[in-house]
Amino acid sequence: MFSHLERPPRAPPGPRRIWADFGPGYAANGFVGWMFAATAPVAIILAVGTAGGLKEAELASWIFGAFFVNGLLTLLFCWLYRQPLAFFWTIPGTVLVGPALGHLSFAEVVGAYCATGALMLVLGMTGWVRRAMQALPMPIVMGMVAGVFLRFGLDLVRALHADIGIAAPMVAAWLGLGLVPALGRRLPPLIGALIVGVLAAVLLGRVDAAALGALEFARPVLQTPAWRAAALVELVVPLAITVLAVQNGQGFAVLKAAGHEPPVDAITVACGAGALASAAVGAVSTCLTGPTNAILASSGQRERQYTAGLCTGVLAVAFGLMAPAFTRLALAAPKPFIMALAGLAMLRVLQAAFVASFRDRHALGALVSFLVTVADLALLNIGAAFWGLVAGFAVSWALERGDFR
């Protein structure tokens, strides 16, 4: 059953090799990738969980599982495959769970998490997911990716409008370091923007120190799943689709665009195992994240980018262990700071997504995929990114049949 799973192409690196491959640019990408996951997505968890009536201990346990379990998976896969393979949790799946908590108990939702994990394990073991990804044209997938990532570019402009005192110095630092290659090699533009943004936020008094609180370690709450047919029907298939077609689809696309060959079936099995482990403490299903992996693979030498993933994994594990304190710290950061930092990190990635979408074949299908994704209208409790893939493929199959040859 496991014979078709992709094996690492070579032996995992030892400590000396990892240290030799590591560097400031990879540390910066790893930090920003982790910060992306630790800010706005955490706020989504808090908003969904609070609206669903979860207790503070259950929310902290959810965040612990989302970071600690997936941080360990990230460390394992980046080390084994020498690629930036960051695992976190499905954001659209989290949003999907919100309405369900209004009429289902949390135990029933956790039961759906467990069933979703088991389904992904089976799909990964059978090799079905890899065959489906190979059949889907890359320009159409990248059209969906461009539609998802467009908001990060727009958020950069919005950050400049909302708080020019923080965002403008960050953009200036990023541009200045990019204009002087010798200086940019010593201080990567992204980490320069990060430092300048932190200084600007502190000097302008935009950080609420009182909100940080004291250091506090996570105390995960073990959840007992409850099995109810209505919960399984409502959540399992949509959750699996958000993981496999939407989130993992983004991750595979951005990594392939950066020259990597992610092990699709092994990742699907890992998502299933991670979902089962995360469900034990009340966390939503594991996925291969798109935006974070795009940041990790956005710069540097391809064969060294796995060290950025290792950095993200270490930070994720630490965040999970100290979830209450780190969550308060992340949410205390000014929103324009996070928007500007993520936008700067994603500019090159967004550019590459557009180039891959509209360069030659399947251009009309890619455009339809992009437009449906940008419209951001859910159907049957399934997010727009999935429907963007469906619509783009259908239009391309009907009107660009020759491109499939």
* pLDDT tens-digit readout, 6-33: 888 888 999 999 999 998 889 989 988 8
Amino acid at 189: P
- pLDDT-derived band at 330 (thresholds 50, 70, 90) equals low
Residue 14 has what pLDDT?
92
Counting the structural domains of the chain, the total is: 1
Q: Is residue 282 domain-resident?
A: yes
Please check whether residue 382 lies inside any domain of the structure: no
> Is 330 among the domain residues?
yes
Q: Residue 245's pLDDT is what?
A: 75
| pLDDT averaged over every residue in the chain | 84
Domain span including residue 136: 15-347
* In the predicted structure, residue 328 carries a pLDDT above the cut 90: no
Percent of the chain with pLDDT over 90: 28
- The pLDDT assigned to 55 comes to 83
Please indicate whether residue 200 or residue 39 has the higher confidence score (pLDDT): 200
Give which of 245, 366, 344 is closest to 298, Cα–Cα.
Answer: 344
Average pLDDT value for residue range 230-246:
78
Say if 170 falls within a structural domain: yes
Q: Does the pLDDT of residue 37 top 70, yes or no?
A: yes
User: What is the pTM (predicted TM-score) of this model?
Assistant: 0.73
Is 90 exceeded by the pLDDT of residue 276?
yes
What is the arithmetic mean of pLDDT over 115-125? Answer: 90
What pLDDT, on the 0 to 100 scale, is given for residue 275?
93
User: Is there a domain that residue 361 lies in?
Assistant: no
Greatest mean pLDDT among 91-95, 176-180, 314-318 lies in 314-318
pLDDT higher than 80, residue 242: no
Q: Which pLDDT score is estimated for 13?
A: 92
Question: Per the domain annotation, does 378 fall within a domain?
Answer: no
More confident site: 382 or 309: 309
Answer whether residue 211 shows pLDDT above 70. Answer: no
352-403, pLDDT tens digit by residue? 778 888 888 888 999 999 999 888 887 776 667 778 888 998 999 999 888 7
**C-beta separation of 341 from 194 below 8 A:** yes
Residue 288: predicted pLDDT? 93
State the SS3 of the chain: CCCCCCCCCCCCCCHHHHHHHCCHHHHHHHHHHHHHHHCHHHHHHHHHHHHCCCCHHHHHHHHHHHHHHHHHHHHHHHHHHCCCCCEEECHHHHHHHHHHCCCCCHHHHHHHHHHHHHHHHHHHHHCHHHHHHHHCCHHHHHHHHHHHHHHHHHHHHHHHHHCHHHHHHHHHHHHHHHHCHHHHHHCCHHHHHHHHHHHHHHHCCCCCHHHCCCCCCCCCCCCCCCCCHHHHHHHHHHHHHHHHHHHHHHHHHHHHHCCCCCCHHHHHHHHHHHHHHHHCCCCCCEEECHHHHHHHCCCCCHHHCHHHHHHHHHHHHHHHHCHHHHHHHHHHCCHHHHHHHHHHHHHHHHHHHHHHHHCCCCHHHHHHHHHHHHHCCCECCECHHHHHHHHHHHHHHHHCHHHHC
> What's the whole-number mean pLDDT along residues 192-210?
80
In a domain, 48, yes or no: yes
Residue 390 falls within a domain, yes or no? no
